[in-house]
Amino acid sequence: MKEQILKRFLSYVTVDTESEFGVDKIPSTDKQWVLAKQIVEELKQLGMSDVTLDEHCYIMATLPSNIDKVVPTIGFVAHIDTSPDFTAAGCSPIVWRDYDGGDLVLNQEKNIVLAVNEFPEILQFKGETIITTDGTTLLGADDKAGVTEIVSAMQYLLEHPEIKHGKIRICFTPDEEVGRGADLFDVAKFGAEWAYTLDGSLPGEIEYENFNAAYAVINIKGKIVHPGMAKGKMINSMYIGSELIHKIPAKEVPEHTEGYEGFYHLLSIVGDVDHTELKYIIRDHDHKKFEAKKDTLRSIVNELNKKYNHLLTLEITDQYYNMAEKVKPVMHIVEIAREAIEKVGLMPITKPIRGGTDGSRLSYMGLPCPNIFAGGMNFHSRYEYVSLTSIERAMQTIVEIAQIVAADDYKK
């Protein structure tokens, strides 16, 4: 199925589905509907049952059980939107057959190179088919690789009825990249006992721990006065913003953290003398440290408000929490994924997610939902790529999970 999988993946990534922060509707961008409708038609043509697309761009479908005994209904979830961190408009994928282990010149005219010395992880895919872009957009393997894997697995199971499986539900969500992918997810309608998101990276990954996450917006009011007459009168809001930035712990930022270490990340700063706005995200796996980081930001704002006569306002919104609390009581669902990963010839890799997925929110909504690999690398970047073999292995992992659950002896 490799060529069929490749064709499907390329058809998805060439549709721009970038989501947008700060939009009070779901989906946040109308262009997500284009791919959603394409997928719906594809699922119907494959023979999936109960294919629905609701008014908020959530796609659901069913693969009916082909066994007599009753086993848990399981689900698989991926998101159709791409990150607003870097444009995906006009994506021009490049297929590199039999990757030779060297640098990939994505765009000779603009001197954009996926260099091995910068991204040595690519060497593990030597000899495989690699998909990149021309370096002017991200690829969208996050998470169109996941969508491809789920659709392809459903096709494979439909075409191979000799493979036994219980009832399987699938869902594709909008707006995951802006933290709203699970906002309107109908868990009762989905009807699965547990699910897996296909939104990880390296082949073999199985993740059930993620960041606790918050979004912070700081607005700073300045006072504009003609600079020639500004002494003792002008208040430059940008200087206050700079002061705030330098009060954030210098080592608690993404470029200095790894593993279980949390961070503050300045997403944007937009301002002039009269008004400046800063947007931060706050992340930590440990809930106490997460709360402490939010308190630190509040303390910094309070300190500057005392100094500058209450010119700053702060809004902090929690986005999602660490799914480990909800998954650990049902760890057999993680063990099933590990067994499936081993059966497709990979070594299971368990590590914390330095981010979040729909699964983190869904776990708190009553649908325990670990995350397994989708295969994409260098997410949210012009250097994003994915191996076709990785996509195939993820698809096979879905098929193996279905068979393990159908055997109904995983708890023994």
So where are the chain's domains? 2-210+322-407, 212-320
Angle at 114 between CA 111 and CA 117, to 5 degrees: 115
pLDDT at 411: 66
Residue 128 contacts residue 388 (beta carbons within 8 Å): yes
Res. 412: pLDDT tops 60 = no
State what percent of residues in the chain have pLDDT above 70: 100
Distances (CA, A) of 386 to 76, 171, 379, 398: 20, 22, 10, 18
Q: What pLDDT is stored for residue 34 in this prediction?
A: 98
Q: Six-digit token pair at 305?
A: 């408000």
Decide: 95 and 3 in contact? Cβ < 8 Å: no
- Considering only CA atoms, give the Rg of the chain: 23
| 269: helix, strand or coil | strand
The whole-number pLDDT of residue 353 equals: 87
- What is the average pLDDT score of the chain? 96
Q: Which DSSP symbol is given to 250?
A: T
| Among the ranges given (111-125, 236-250, 316-330), the one the predictor scored with the smallest mean pLDDT | 316-330
DSSP annotation string for 204-238:
TEEE----EEEEEEEEEE-B---GGG-TTT-B-HH
pLDDT in tens, 255-288: 999 999 999 999 999 999 999 999 999 999 999 9
Taking residue 176's Cβ as centre, other Cβ atoms within 10 Å add up to: 28
The backbone torsions φ and ψ at residue 228, rounded to the nearest 5 degrees and listed phi first, read: -75, -15
Please give the share of the chain, as a percent, with pLDDT higher than 90: 94
What six digits make up the tokens of 154? 């459903």
Which pLDDT score, from 0 to 100, does residue 52 have?
98
Query: Phi first, then psi: what are they for 289, rounded to 5°?
Result: -65, -35
pTM, 2 dp: 0.86
Amino acid, single-letter form, for residue 383: Y
Annotated active-site residue 81? The verdict is yes
Q: What mean pLDDT is predicted for residues 337-346?
A: 97
Q: What confidence tens digit (pLDDT) does each residue in 151-172 have?
A: 999 999 999 999 999 999 999 9
| Averaged pLDDT for residues 3-24 | 96
Annotated active-site residue 41? The verdict is: no
Cα angle for residues 48, 356, 7 (degrees, 5° grid): 40
pLDDT at 357: 76
Confidence tier at 356 by pLDDT (50, 70, 90) = confident
Q: Nearest-CA neighbor of 333 among 277, 372, 380, 300? A: 372
Confidence band of 195 (pLDDT split at 50, 70, 90) = very high
State mean pLDDT over 208-237.
Answer: 96
Residues in the chain: 412
Amino acid at 285: H
Q: Which of 18, 176, 205, 400 is catalytic?
A: 176
CATH number of 2-210+322-407: 3.40.630.10
User: Which residue, chain included where needed, has tokens 């909800």?
Assistant: 326
* Contact present, 205 and 373 (Cβ < 8 Å): yes
- 212-320 CATH: 3.30.70.360
Query: Does residue 344 contact residue 389 with C-beta atoms inside 8 Å?
Result: no
Cβ pair 358, 349 in contact under 8 A:
no
